[in-house]
Structures are given as C-alpha cells and as structure tokens.
C-alpha cells in the first residue's frame, strides 16, 4: 500500500503545520509539560487519520465486459429505479455508494469503453446521504459506452466534508475497466445509473470494494 498522489500536498502541509505548532508551544510555554504531551499525541493522531485517508491499496481487477464493478469503496445506500434527467432522460436503475472519511477515496471506472459524456457541476455541500445531494451538490457526471454499445452513467458527488472533486477522464477518451477515474477528498458518494435489465448483485447496506465488487451483470 502506498500514498495516493492527491495526498502529497495536504500531507506535507499538515506535517509542517503540526511541527510549527508543537515547536512554538514548547518555546512560548516551556513549563506546561501536560500541554506539550497532549498536543503531541493529538498531532500524531491527526496525522495518522489524514495519512490513512490518502492510502492507495493494491487492487487486482478481474476485467469482464459483462460486469459493472464498484467505482469506489463504501456502503450501498440506494438501489432503486429512477428517472435519470441529465443524460438518459428516462428510467434507469440507480445504485449509490456512500464513502465515509475512513474509506479509500479513489474512484475507479466501473466498465471499460469510450467516455461519451462528461460534465462538472458546481453546487452545494449537503450531507452525501441527503436525497437531493445527487442533483444539488457539487458533482461530476460521466457516461461510459462499452464495446457492445451499453452506456453506464456514474456520478461523483461531494459531501458536507468533501470540498474538492478530482477527475482524470474527458469526453472522447478510452478507458479500461478498473482504471482510476478520480478522487474525492474527505467524505462523499457515488451514484451509478444502469440499464433496467442489468442484474443487481449487491444488497442495501452491503460494503463494496472499489475495482473488485461486482455491482451488476449486464444482460445478454
């Protein structure tokens, strides 16, 4: 396991800031040993929390054109038929995965194919499980078209703590299943919009592993 490139700047700033605070406290308040100890322990705890947030695990992806794999780590919080109004403008099966701050926050492409559509939407920062977060929060929308013409839409959604969405895809780009498509910093959610005839392979409250868990199987 390594550290993701999106974490280098934040981790460096965190280390410098914590060092300055701890050194300044010892210099200006030399006789408060209890405060020095408490501050040091708190600093180490904060550093470890941020470090684990940006961890980059090794994931072996079993590429299969019939499978739609989890685009992120987290808990399945929505499985329902909805009207997708941005791109399909019709009924689709929605599967949503909530990422807590403790989850790996790398995002993976759920299928391989051509990026048919991409759009970034500025917006609010409602809690990620809020019903309106899918349409009102800061978000990106990406549509991938597989080699056999099936289109899958997935959406990165910022949460109350997530203040930056990063993406590595663009319209016209070809991507492979399980390759990195982006990163969301500090708590968020991802929505998948699938064909109605896709067979859902997960249940509500189930934990998904990005790049590995099979979310659905496409119909023949």
Asked if 77 and 151 sit in the same domain, the reply is: yes
- Specify whether 51 is located in the same domain as 77: no
In a domain, 61, yes or no: no
How large is the greatest C-alpha to C-alpha distance in the chain, in angstroms?
A: 73
Query: Considering 96, 133, 134, 188, which one is annotated as catalytic?
Result: 188
Q: 20 with 90, same domain?
A: no
Rg of the chain in Å (alpha carbons)? 20
pLDDT digits (tens, 9 = 90+) for 163-194: 578 999 999 999 999 999 999 876 688 999 99
3-state secondary structure of 1: coil
Task: Please check whether residue 185 is in contact with residue 105, taking contact to mean a CB–CB distance below 8 angstroms.
Answer: yes
Answer whether 95's CB lies under 8 Å from 215's CB.
Answer: yes
| pLDDT > 70 in the chain, percent | 90
**Is there a domain that residue 88 lies in?**
yes
User: Is the distance from CB of 104 to CB of 92 less than 8 angstroms?
Assistant: no
State the CATH number of the domain containing residue 129. 2.70.70.10
Domain carrying residue 34? 2-56
> Is 146 an annotated catalytic residue?
no
- For residue 24 the two structure tokens come to 């300044």
Residue 81 · residue 196 · CB < 8 Å: yes
Q: Do 99 and 8 fall into the same domain?
A: no
pLDDT in tens, 128-159: 555 555 666 788 999 999 989 999 999 998 87
- If asked whether residues 104 and 193 sit together in one domain, one would say yes
Classify residue 62: in a domain, yes or no.
no
Per mean pLDDT, which range of 29-33, 154-158, 194-198 is the poorest?
A: 29-33
Question: Is-contact 167 190, C-beta < 8 A?
Answer: no
143 and 73, same structural domain? yes
pTM of the predicted structure, to 2 decimals: 0.85
Q: How far apart are CA 17 and CA 106, in angstroms?
A: 25
């Amino acid at each position: 396991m390594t550290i993701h490139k999106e974490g280098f700047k934040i981790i460096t700033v965190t280390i410098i800031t914590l060092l300055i605070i701890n050194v300044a406290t010892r210099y200006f308040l030399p006789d408060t040993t209890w405060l020095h100890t408490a501050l040091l322990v708190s600093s180490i705890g904060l550093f470890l929390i941020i470090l684990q947030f940006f961890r980059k695990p090794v994931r072996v992806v079993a590429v299969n054109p019939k499978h739609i794999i989890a685009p992120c780590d987290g808990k399945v919080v929505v499985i329902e038929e909805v009207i997708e109004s941005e791109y399909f403008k019709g009924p689709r099966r929605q599967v949503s995965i909530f990422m807590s701050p403790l989850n790996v926050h790398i995002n993976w492409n759920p299928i391989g194919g051509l990026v048919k559509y991409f759009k970034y939407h500025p917006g609010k920062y409602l809690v990620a499980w809020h019903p309106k977060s899918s349409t009102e929060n800061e978000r990106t929308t990406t549509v991938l078209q597989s080699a056999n013409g099936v289109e899958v839409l997935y959406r990165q959604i910022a949460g109350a703590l997530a203040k930056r969405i990063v993406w590595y895809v663009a319209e016209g780009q070809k991507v492979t299943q399980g390759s990195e498509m982006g990163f969301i910093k500090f708590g968020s959610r991802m929505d998948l919009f699938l064909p109605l005839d896709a067979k859902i392979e997960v249940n509500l409250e189930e934990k998904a592993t990005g790049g590995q868990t099979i979310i659905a199987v496409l119909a023949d």
